Amino acid sequence: MDITEIPQEGYEKVVKCEDAESGLKAVIAVHNTTLGPALGGLRMWPYASWDDAVFDVLRLSKGMTYKSAVADTGLGGGKSVIIGNPKTEKTESLFRAMGRFVDSLEGKYITAEDVGTSVADMVHVRKETTRVTGLPRDMGSSGDPSPWTALGTFLGIKACLEEVFGTDDFNGRSVAVQGCGHVGEFLVNHLHKAGAKLFLADIQAEKAQKLAEATGGTVVDPSEILFVECDVLAPCALGAVVNDESLPKLDTKIIAGAANNILLREDHGQRLREAGILYAPDYVINAGGIINVSIEVEGEYDEVKAEAKVKNIYHALKRVFEISKERNISTNEASNLVAEERLARKATPA
């Protein structure tokens, strides 16, 4: 196993691994451990080059630092990527080699599943290192993060309703949900129970249809869901849905969903603000999953503790909205400030 460090400004440690025996080609980026060990998922993707893989892991690991800082998980930010096709190139020896690579960082980085990897892959990783989360519940782990992400998103939407309408009552409020997958389905069930009027879309039409039948929601064509007239638009599928093209056509008062990287660019946050649309920064509202995992890292996993901590997302968002108003900045700039201040305070205690 050949491990080489590739120093990057602003990152604590970035290492690359090539293992001829298993075919592993991977990169781990530890962005910042000021607040705790760096935790972030392991992505498997057929990157065209090492440079593409490094670019992605740098961006994602920094994002994890900010997400964990605002959610107060006691964790830092990191991420890892395997270069390879998750549909055709997965083997036990590949993930065991990845486990040894993770272990070589001696606890500075803790891994988890992500796009292209699964719980089964993490079970192989676990054979070589204890620095892995997201294993099956019967292995003492915190299990599927999606219900927690959905709960946090639901509570975050409540914080948005209160901010915009002065009450967090869902009765008479309409919510358009893009994506009825793992998180979307749990979220829709919370919204339905709370009395919201639902518009649902998924490119796998049967998912939206089934959920609409169970909740009395209305199915909308995926090409139209972003532009439905509603109180809340909840993107729960893809990133970059707020962009130059979509922005003028949005007909909502709030954007609050679980998808990562909802804004194509940071300045789209300011454009939403100018358009009078309240934006719940994605990494604040979708932190339920990482919060749940952080309970597992702290010690024995405890569901009650996880729920109590996920509920803080409501307050975290209220604080972000306050700062945005006080300083006259977009909500995404405000959440970045919260993260940066938390990191600075810990780095230089009074």
Residues with catalytic roles = 79
Over its C-alpha atoms, the chain yields an Rg (Å, rounded) of: 20
Does 152 help bind ligand NAD (rule: CB under 6 A)? no
Of 33, 61, 149, 335, which lies in the binding site for ligand NAD, with binding defined by CB under 6 A? 149
How would you class 287 by CB atoms within 10 Å of its CB: exposed for 0-12, middle for 13-18, buried for 19 or more? buried
In whole angstroms, how close is the CB of 300 to ligand NAD at the nearest point? 21
CA-CA distance, 30 to 8, in Å (whole number)? 10
Residue 24 vs 75, nearer CB to ligand NAD: 75
CB 258 within 8 A of CB 236: yes
CA 280 to chain CA centroid, Å, is: 13
Does 178 help bind ligand NAD (rule: CB under 6 A)? yes
Does 278 help bind ligand NAD (rule: CB under 6 A)? no
CB 125 within 8 A of CB 111: yes
Residue 99 vs 179, nearer CB to ligand NAD: 179
CB 166 within 8 A of CB 186: no
Does 181 help bind ligand NAD (rule: CB under 6 A)? yes
SS3 19: strand
CB 8 within 8 A of CB 58: yes
Of 188, 201, 242, 338, which lies in the binding site for ligand NAD, with binding defined by CB under 6 A? 201
Does 41 help bind ligand NAD (rule: CB under 6 A)? no
Of 55, 222, 323, 337, which lies in the binding site for ligand NAD, with binding defined by CB under 6 A? 222
Does 142 help bind ligand NAD (rule: CB under 6 A)? no
Does 38 help bind ligand NAD (rule: CB under 6 A)? no
CA-CA distance, 180 to 81, in Å (whole number)? 26
Residue 84 vs 145, nearer CB to ligand NAD: 145
Does 260 help bind ligand NAD (rule: CB under 6 A)? yes
Q: Where are the beta strands (DSSP E) in 171-217?
A: 174-178, 197-201
Judged by CB under 6 A, the stretch of 8-16, 161-169, 258-266, 339-347 that binds ligand NAD is 258-266
CA-CA distance, 61 to 28, in Å (whole number)? 9
Does 233 help bind ligand NAD (rule: CB under 6 A)? no
Q: What are the angstrom distances between the C-alpha of 27 and each of 15, 18, 19, 82?
A: 6, 9, 12, 7
DSSP state of 53: H
How many C-beta neighbours within 10 Å does residue 233 have? 28
CB 39 within 8 A of CB 297: yes
Of 119, 203, 240, 264, which lies in the binding site for ligand NAD, with binding defined by CB under 6 A? 203
Of 25, 182, 210, 319, which lies in the binding site for ligand NAD, with binding defined by CB under 6 A? 182
CA proximity to 318, closest of 171, 162, 101 = 162
Does 217 help bind ligand NAD (rule: CB under 6 A)? no
Does 286 help bind ligand NAD (rule: CB under 6 A)? yes
CB 4 within 8 A of CB 74: no
In whole angstroms, how close is the CB of 120 to ligand NAD at the nearest point? 16
In whole angstroms, how close is the CB of 18 to ligand NAD at the nearest point? 28
Residue 237 vs 317, nearer CB to ligand NAD: 237
Does 179 help bind ligand NAD (rule: CB under 6 A)? yes
Of 15, 236, 250, 278, which lies in the binding site for ligand NAD, with binding defined by CB under 6 A? 236
Count, residues near ligand NAD per rule CB under 6 A: 24
Residue 277 vs 290, nearer CB to ligand NAD: 290
